[in-house]
């Protein structure tokens, strides 16, 4: 397993550390909603944004190596389509740092569909082709299937905490 195989995990770690440092720096004057917003913004920027752009770079500039790590043949024409899907996710993630509301919801929907769809594709390849390549059956499989739910949960938690701060009498 190489460093590049672990990059999705690295992006998660960077998100957690970056958000924790930012929260720690502002701890005394921060609400729980602001802390959740910091984690959410870091997630959009690093996990979806930088992760998506890195996926684009990998599927474009290192296409043969990435194909091999997934268990695909080199020169697979779907590489470019996956690269462009990753680029669109990356751009949406970066823009979500500043554009909130419905834009973030749309970004999460798009990200969730793409990632869970990719995860299902990995499972299908494991079952049908016995493809146990590191970037088919390794950490990326679990990240593809679980991360959308985590980010949607973080988004909902952030909305709940903001609403609770604005209207303390609100109870769910």
C-alpha–C-alpha distance, residues 164 and 90, integer Å: 31
Q: Which of 121, 151, 156, 152 is nearest to 136 (CA)?
A: 121
In contact, 137 and 126? CB cutoff 8 Å:
yes
- Tens digit of each residue's pLDDT (9 = 90 or more) over 32-42: 999 999 999 99
- Tens digit of each residue's pLDDT (9 = 90 or more) over 153-172: 999 999 999 999 988 776 55
Phi, psi angle pair for 74, to nearest 5°: -60, 150
Q: Which of 38, 15, 35 is nearest to 147 (CA)?
A: 15
pLDDT at 78: 84
In contact, 89 and 110? CB cutoff 8 Å:
yes
> Which two structure tokens, joined as six digits, stand for 71?
């268990």
Where do the domains of the chain lie?
9-166
Please give the mean pLDDT across all residues of the chain.
94
- Tens digit of each residue's pLDDT (9 = 90 or more) over 73-88: 998 888 999 999 999 9
């Amino acid at each position: 397993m190489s460093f590049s195989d672990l990059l999705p995990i690295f992006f998660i770690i960077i998100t957690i550390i970056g958000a924790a440092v930012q929260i720690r720096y502002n701890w005394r004057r921060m609400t729980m909603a602001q802390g959740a917003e910091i984690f959410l913004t870091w997630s959009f920027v690093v996990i979806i944004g930088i992760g998506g752009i890195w996926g684009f770079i990998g599927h474009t500039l290192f296409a043969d190596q990435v194909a091999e790590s997934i268990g695909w043949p080199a020169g697979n024409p779907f590489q470019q389509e996956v690269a462009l899907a990753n680029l669109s996710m990356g751009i949406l993630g970066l823009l979500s740092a500043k554009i909130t509301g419905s834009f973030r919801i749309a970004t999460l929907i798009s990200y969730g569909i793409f990632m869970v769809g990719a995860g299902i594709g990995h499972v299908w390849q494991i079952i049908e082709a016995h493809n146990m390549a590191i970037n088919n059956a390794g950490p990326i499989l679990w990240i593809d299937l679980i991360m959308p739910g985590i980010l949607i949960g973080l988004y909902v938690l952030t909305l709940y905490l903001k609403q609770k701060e604005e209207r303390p009498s609100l109870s769910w």
